[in-house]
A = this chain, B = another copy of it.
């Protein structure tokens, strides 16, 4: 049986602000619900839109004081930094191209950061943020949602504990169909910015979902990519960026991997699926059925591990909220990312040192790795699908 998760004591609750996420934006609402879920942090400030009146309207509907609603993110960073009750962290949910300048100014003002993925547009930017966060001793979380699922944490713990032996081969696929037609020409906003190089960077499918594939494999297995060979495809006529991609990967350990991501795979909603094959066993996880893990061992029947029913490693068990058979989903996973981050931040605020196990949330290393992955995939594909080294 599962204990109720502890809400943080109200007195110690963290506060945060948000940049982006105005009315109508999908992901801003998801972040707010994920924050509210465990009541670890309270949203008290925001710059929800470049248009001050819209920002004000969104903030008011959320019950925020007018004096903490800002028209611009730079003003917000500076103003908050001067307050005694300044926010503990900022949440960045703008289009990709704004991640860097927003994150930079908040870090410069001494404020911790939570940022959506992919982190930034170039490895140079990523390195700059890493240096800045280190210099300022600030925490930085990149919201790779899927790391928050308990069964993903279980998979990681199983690999770490050697349950499936030495890793040999990994497949990750992420199939969607929402861009199977030229949706960006119909006025659909998300399709428009995601396929626009100015706002999204040098890759679309590889940036949006390829980085999720890269991240979840890295999170579960700890393998680092030594080289890769990528083919980026654009199947919908007139589209400016990739909508499908295949990447062969060689890991530093000698293991091999294969990633396939697609936004034109008709019949697939959001089918992220990871399989890890080792010398003694294998695990398979599918995001659309996230409460289960298929586990196979040599000479044994295939098993289905159930969250909430079966015995899990502590990391997984600790993020499982309700009994087996009561489905947890995307919001709960998102909340777990925030929970890890907020717990670490609370500990840091209390002056306690953080061990590696307390940095369970994806940070700047994961974010930078994703940006590097995008760059190398594009480089390989532009060279005709040749192998390129990844340092």
In the complex, whether A36 has a CB less than 8 A from a CB of chain B is yes
Q: Which residue of B lies closest to A256 (CB)?
A: B233
**Chain A stretch 36-86: residues in CB contact (< 8 A) with chain B:** 36-39, 60-64
Is A310 within 8 A of B306, CB to CB? no
Is A61 within 8 A of B267, CB to CB? no
Nearest-CB distance from A272 to chain B (Å)?
8
Q: When chains A and B are docked, how far (Å) is the Cα of A229 from the Cα of B247? A: 11
Q: When chains A and B are docked, how far (Å) is the Cα of A303 from the Cα of B287? A: 21
Is B322 within 8 A of A326, CB to CB? no
Is B7 within 8 A of A61, CB to CB? yes
Nearest-CB distance from A13 to chain B (Å)?
7
Mark contacts of A134-163 with chain B using CB atoms, 8 A cut-off: 1 yes-contact digit, 0 otherwise. Answer: 000000000000000000000000000000
Q: A233-B256, A269-B324, A329-B329 are in contact. Are A306 and B298 (CB under 8 A)?
A: no
Mark contacts of A279-316 with chain B using CB atoms, 8 A cut-off: 1 yes-contact digit, 0 otherwise. Answer: 11110100111110011111111111110111100000
In the complex, whether A169 has a CB less than 8 A from a CB of chain B is yes
Number of copies: 4
Is B302 within 8 A of A267, CB to CB? yes
Size category, A interface: 35 or more
In the complex, whether A328 has a CB less than 8 A from a CB of chain B is yes
Is B288 within 8 A of A325, CB to CB? yes
Is B301 within 8 A of A305, CB to CB? yes
Question: Which residues on B sit within 8 Å (CB–CB) of A32?
Answer: 7
In the complex, whether A95 has a CB less than 8 A from a CB of chain B is no
Q: When chains A and B are docked, how far (Å) is the Cα of A111 from the Cα of B329? A: 34
Question: Which residues on B sit within 8 Å (CB–CB) of A10?
Answer: 60-64
Q: Which residue of B lies closest to A33 (CB)?
A: B37
In the complex, whether A176 has a CB less than 8 A from a CB of chain B is yes
Nearest-CB distance from A56 to chain B (Å)?
13
Is B290 within 8 A of A327, CB to CB? yes
**Chain A stretch 329-349: residues in CB contact (< 8 A) with chain B:** 329-332
Q: When chains A and B are docked, how far (Å) is the Cα of A384 from the Cα of B250? A: 12
Known: A244-B256, A266-B277, A267-B295. 15 other contacts (CB 8 A): A3-B26, A4-B29, A33-B38, A177-B296, A177-B298, A229-B229, A229-B248, A235-B279, A267-B281, A267-B284, A301-B303, A301-B304, A301-B305, A301-B309, A327-B328
Interchain Cβ contacts under 8 Å between A and B, 12 examples:
A7-B32, A9-B63, A37-B37, A169-B264, A177-B282, A178-B323, A266-B280, A266-B281, A269-B309, A299-B311, A304-B304, A321-B331
